[in-house]
Amino acid sequence: MRDATPQTIYLSDYQPFGFLVDEVALTFDLDPHKTRVRSRIAFRRNLAVESAEFFLHGEQLTLISAQIDGKPITPEVTDRGLTCDVPDGPFIWEAEVEIDPKGNTALEGLYMSGGMYCTQCEAEGFRKITYYPDRPDVMSVFTVTINGPHPVLLSNGNPVAQGQNHAEWHDPWPKPAYLFALVAGDLVAHSDRFSTMSGREVDLNLYVRPGDEGKCAFGMEALKASMKWDEDVYGREYDLDIFNIVAVDDFNMGAMENKGLNIFNSAAVLASPETSTDDNFERIEAIIAHEYFHNWTGNRITCRDWFQLCLKEGLTVYRDSQFTSDMRSPAVKRISDVIDLRGRQFAEDQGPLAHPVRPESFQEINNFYTATIYEKGAEVIGMLKTLVGDDAYAKALDLYFERHDGDAATIEDWLKVFEDTTGRDLTQFKRWYSQAGTPRLAVTEAWDAGKGAFTLTLTQHTPPSTATPKPEPLVLPITVGLIGEDGAEVVPSRVLEMTEAKQSFTFDGLDARPVASVLRGFSAPVVLAHDLSKQERLLLLAHDSDPFNRWEAGRTLARQSLLATITEGSAPDAEWLGALQAVLSDEALEPAYRALMLGLPSHADLANTLYDTGNTPDPAAIHDAVEATRDAMAQAFASTLSGLYDRHVVNAPYQPNAEQSGKRALTNAALALLTRVQGPERAQAQYDQADNMTQQLSALAALLRAGHGDKALAEFEAQWRDDRLVMDKWFGLQVSQAAPEQAAEVAQKLTQHTNFNWKNPNRFRAVFGSLATHHAGFHHESGKGYALLADWLIKLDPVNPQTTARMCSAFQTWRRYDAARQEMIQTQLDRILASPTLSRDTSEMLSRIRG
């Protein structure tokens, strides 16, 4: 139902709850449409809080009965919750409610997916299960009883009783309601064990639907590796006798860290060589780690309120990126993270949805699970670590866990542990949490030959936004190294700490003017403007000892070449191509790293750069320039690529490890280019011989792009018809590989396929996420892409507001484009906004985007 007056919640209004919850007992009698939930909750006044208003959240619940201390009462019920008079002393609240899991298509609260029951309570889903103070600062110990005719009945904590159609669970760790979970169904377990550092034996289970047993082994290994890593690196041990993971097919997000019972989107946990790509394996490993790491950064220490979301998410993303770096290649992980940050977070931070890492207001918290809170939140932690150093970071984290274990904490608490361990004043650093917008960092150089002094002058500027109209200078850790004319490093990496709007740093005692490698490792999430000459960039591309900046030099040259093609129609830069070819042939470099070198800035990245430099991006021109550049790369590198392909093609049995997947990344990047100049034979051969999904899907993509994919596409469908996750790839790839003028039609046609189950978020995203990220297709001048997406968002919103609202961000960059496109988009935005029953989620997103 549309809220007549959408309510805005402010951080500054925070008030603690007037009651404490000593314990919670819940009993579920499961039934698809009429599940009964009985609650017995021990409340007591929190005397530290003045207000004693007793309000329990509750939505979409049918209240059957309520009692206080055994006496029936009649509370005052609204569609948001209830209130009633309560005794002064401690009391027992009891209620029985009825809910409809099968009718719950929003996938929030208790719902059904493929015949099983499961829950999703973060952020505010528990209130759809029973009446409760559904806020993260109210923590309690839960005992859960489940009755229902299902072989597997799971909840948080440790099992205390299991019987036929009956189970009881007890979680000894006080937790907020958003970490509650329940699962029931006909599931099979892939089981293992882990002994913790202090010798606790933990049972590990990965529960899946029958038929998916063969896709569990990798996830389980990733879980054990995560448990070990968190002990080794952060000293964090697991704290229950059992750890369960459940895979569900219908899930709005990637996964959820419920205490002792993580629930995963099946796409984020199920893996096998035949059905999953190398990228899938890497992502699954990272998500398993992420959710497991939340056990300490999220569960043992949780958030006081949802404004503090980055406290757990920024830190946990940072921790999972450290884990991936340790398991795989740090350079490759850093570059991939920066590509992702620029693609998603920069777009958000430079458009109408910009918000600080710690927002100060929101209407619907589900709309704030964003790249800014997650990825920029993690960057902020990386900067803090760079500024204080590794040892101080480790000490601060130890103090954080010691001081705040069991707390619902804030960003102030987090920064205080750093201040207390290092003696630093972090007042200015805190602006990273309160200011929106991507800072611009301009670098100019001066060389004093007489003194051998090289000076870098840095100027920072954050463009103002609605969220932050008057940004102030930030603390920027800027890692810099200097390189000599011969490519040798003359000054190794050091961190310049910038705190003013403009600041100079001088390096003395140099024999000759160096080339500056600035912002090594992407040490701060800024847009860098450093006027290096092409020769200097070529030198960095050939010699920079910092792998990130070496890659970045190549990327900047690529971007400049592409921009010249787009705006002046010039041919791709031959010098850049020559230098790139040398890097590709350098067998001392990891194959995965060379594969990244073969990438080009995305269409969206180019559109953004054009817009930033005062041009109106033309999606068709961008597309043509990228195609021309790829053709030129293919022609120039043909023999090199052929050699690379033959030398690095993996013949050993498939392993999803970094080494093999790096080789496949390189050979498949080569294949994509080679297919342009050599025709489809090599791709067809790879397709026919493939015994794993990475090889099969890469070959299929190359064939589709070359216009030779019809046969393989049909074979693929016949082979994988019954595999939901593989079919998501089949749907998505057809859209992403379509020609710009066909993308919307292809998507539209796919929505008529019998397997287009649009209520499944993975399937919906396979088609429409691919359309929205097909820049030239989505923004095709016909406007068909806009209209089709709008049609389907209108259709999905009443069924699943969360997924609808997230997908609205496809329109967030609309003001960058020409008047005709803006008008078409505005028409569609208004058409969606005019839906009579638009959800709070979607209406908040659209009104922010539309402005």
Q: Please tell me the distance from the alpha carbon of residue 250 to that of residue 266, in angstroms, as a whole number.
A: 8
Q: Which is nearer to ligand PHE, 236 or 290 (CB)?
A: 290
Q: Which is nearer to ligand PHE, 209 or 290 (CB)?
A: 290
**Torsion sign over Cα 42, 46, 52, 53:** negative
Return the closest-CA partner of residue 675 out of 707, 651, 710, 646. Answer: 707
Strand spans (E) along 227-337: 242-248, 255-256, 261-265, 302-303
Q: How far is the CB of 787 from Zn ion (least distance, A)?
A: 35
Q: What is the DSSP string of 376-426?
A: IHHHHHHHHHHHH-HHHHHHHHHHHHHHHTT-EE-HHHHHHHHHHHH----
Helices 619-648 and 574-585, packing angle to 10 deg: 30
DSSP secondary structure letter of residue 6 = P
Decide which of ligand PHE, Zn ion, none touches 253; Cβ closer than 5 to 8 Å per partner kind: ligand PHE
Residue length of the chain: 851
Residue 633 interacting with ligand PHE (CB under 6 A)? no
Decide which of Zn ion, ligand PHE, none touches 249; Cβ closer than 5 to 8 Å per partner kind: none
Task: Judge contact between 673 and 598, C-beta under 8 A.
Answer: yes
Q: Which is nearer to Zn ion, 121 or 683 (CB)?
A: 121
Q: Please tell me the distance from the alpha carbon of residue 771 to that of residue 766, in angstroms, as a whole number.
A: 9
Residue 847, both tokens: 């009104």
Q: How far is the CB of 304 from ligand PHE (least distance, A)?
A: 16
Task: Judge contact between 346 and 371, C-beta under 8 A.
Answer: no
Please, which of residues 303-332 interact with Zn ion by CB under 5 A? Answer: 313, 316
Q: Which is nearer to ligand PHE, 123 or 408 (CB)?
A: 123
SS (HEC) of 566-577: HHHCCCCCHHHH
Q: Please tell me the distance from the alpha carbon of residue 537 to that of residue 517, in angstroms, as a whole number.
A: 9
Task: Judge contact between 256 and 263, C-beta under 8 A.
Answer: yes
Give the active site residue among 291, 313, 379, 552.
Answer: 291
- What one-letter code names the amino acid at 317? V
Stretch of residues binding ligand PHE (CB under 6 A), selected from 10-18, 116-124, 135-143, 445-453: 116-124
DSSP secondary structure letter of residue 653 = P
Stretch of residues binding ligand PHE (CB under 6 A), selected from 13-21, 44-52, 253-261, 339-347: 253-261
Stretch of residues binding ligand PHE (CB under 6 A), selected from 118-126, 327-335, 658-666, 699-707: 118-126
Please, which of residues 366-405 interact with Zn ion by CB under 5 A? Answer: none
Residues 35, 104, 113, 120: which binds ligand PHE (CB under 6 A)?
120
Q: Which is nearer to Zn ion, 118 or 592 (CB)?
A: 118
Q: How far is the CB of 802 from ligand PHE (least distance, A)?
A: 8
Give SS3 for 297.
strand
Stretch of residues binding ligand PHE (CB under 6 A), selected from 14-22, 248-256, 481-489, 547-555: 248-256
Residues 177, 253, 519, 579: which binds ligand PHE (CB under 6 A)?
253
Instruction: Tell the residue number behind the tokens 């070529």, with chain if given.
Output: 538
Distances, alpha carbon 350 to alpha carbons 190, 556, 817, in Å = 45, 20, 14
Q: How far is the CB of 120 from ligand PHE (least distance, A)?
A: 6
Q: How far is the CB of 320 from ligand PHE (least distance, A)?
A: 9
Residue 249 interacting with ligand PHE (CB under 6 A)? no
Residue 365 interacting with ligand PHE (CB under 6 A)? no
Q: How far is the CB of 252 from ligand PHE (least distance, A)?
A: 6
The distance from CA 648 to its chain's CA centroid, rounded to whole angstroms, is 31
3-state helix, strand, coil in the chain (%, to 5): 45, 20, 35
Instruction: Tell the residue number behind the tokens 């072989």, with chain if given.
Output: 151
Residues 26, 255, 805, 846: which binds ligand PHE (CB under 6 A)?
255
Please, which of residues 27-56 interact with Zn ion by CB under 5 A? Answer: none
In angstroms, what is the C-alpha Rg of the chain? 27
Q: How far is the CB of 125 from ligand PHE (least distance, A)?
A: 8
Please, which of residues 567-606 interact with ligand PHE by CB under 6 A? Answer: none
Task: Judge contact between 65 and 95, C-beta under 8 A.
Answer: yes
Q: How far is the CB of 291 from ligand PHE (least distance, A)?
A: 5
Task: Give the β-pairing of 201-208 and 242-248.
Answer: parallel
Return the closest-CA partner of residue 508 out of 446, 552, 565, 559. Answer: 446
Q: How far is the CB of 75 from ligand PHE (least distance, A)?
A: 29
Residue 313 interacting with ligand PHE (CB under 6 A)? yes
**Torsion sign over Cα 558, 561, 565, 568:** positive
Residue 256 interacting with ligand PHE (CB under 6 A)? yes
Q: Give the residue nearest to ligand PHE (CB).
A: 253
Residue 257 interacting with ligand PHE (CB under 6 A)? yes
Q: How far is the CB of 281 from ligand PHE (least distance, A)?
A: 19
- What one-letter code names the amino acid at 181? A
DSSP H or E stretch at residue 190? strand 188-195
Residue 369 interacting with ligand PHE (CB under 6 A)? yes
Q: Which is nearer to Zn ion, 333 or 775 (CB)?
A: 333
Q: How far is the CB of 256 from ligand PHE (least distance, A)?
A: 4
Residues 150, 236, 290, 376: which binds ligand PHE (CB under 6 A)?
290
Residue 578, both tokens: 């020559």
Q: Please tell me the distance from the alpha carbon of residue 657 to that of residue 655, in angstroms, as a whole number.
A: 5
Return the closest-CA partner of residue 669 out of 600, 602, 604. Answer: 600
Residues 59, 94, 122, 605: which binds ligand PHE (CB under 6 A)?
122
Instruction: Tell the residue number behind the tokens 């600062």, with chain if given.
Output: 137
Question: Please, which residues have CB within 8 angstroms of residue 511's CB and are 6 or more apart in sequence?
Answer: 452, 490
Q: How far is the CB of 316 from ligand PHE (least distance, A)?
A: 7
Decide which of ligand PHE, Zn ion, none touches 770; Cβ closer than 5 to 8 Å per partner kind: none
Stretch of residues binding ligand PHE (CB under 6 A), selected from 34-42, 57-65, 134-142, 251-259: 251-259
Decide which of Zn ion, ligand PHE, none touches 256; Cβ closer than 5 to 8 Å per partner kind: ligand PHE
The distance from CA 473 to its chain's CA centroid, rounded to whole angstroms, is 28
Q: Please tell me the distance from the alpha carbon of residue 58 to that of residue 6, in angstroms, as a whole number.
A: 18
Residue 805 interacting with ligand PHE (CB under 6 A)? no
Q: What is the DSSP string of 733-788?
A: HHHHTS-GGGHHHHHHHHTTSTT--TTSHHHHHHHHHHHHH-HHHHT-TT-HHHHH
Residues 278, 291, 375, 841: which binds ligand PHE (CB under 6 A)?
291
Residue 300 interacting with ligand PHE (CB under 6 A)? no
Q: 291 an active-site residue?
A: yes
Please, which of residues 230-289 interact with Zn ion by CB under 5 A? Answer: none
Q: Which is nearer to Zn ion, 299 or 696 (CB)?
A: 299
Q: Please tell me the distance from the alpha carbon of residue 430 to that of residue 426, in angstroms, as a whole number.
A: 6
Decide which of ligand PHE, Zn ion, none touches 573; Cβ closer than 5 to 8 Å per partner kind: none
Q: Please tell me the distance from the alpha carbon of residue 227 to that of residue 828, in angstroms, as a whole number.
A: 47
How many residues of this chain interact with ligand PHE, rule: CB under 6 A? 11
Give SS3 for 479.
strand
Stretch of residues binding ligand PHE (CB under 6 A), selected from 164-172, 183-191, 249-257, 563-571: 249-257
Stretch of residues binding ligand PHE (CB under 6 A), selected from 31-39, 43-51, 213-221, 250-258: 250-258
Decide which of Zn ion, ligand PHE, none touches 255; Cβ closer than 5 to 8 Å per partner kind: ligand PHE
Q: How far is the CB of 178 from ligand PHE (least distance, A)?
A: 8
Residue 271, both tokens: 């893996």
How many residues of this chain interact with Zn ion, rule: CB under 5 A? 2
Residues that bind ligand PHE (CB under 6 A): 120, 122-123, 253, 255-257, 290-291, 313, 369
Residues that bind Zn ion (CB under 5 A): 313, 316
Residues with a catalytic annotation lie at 291
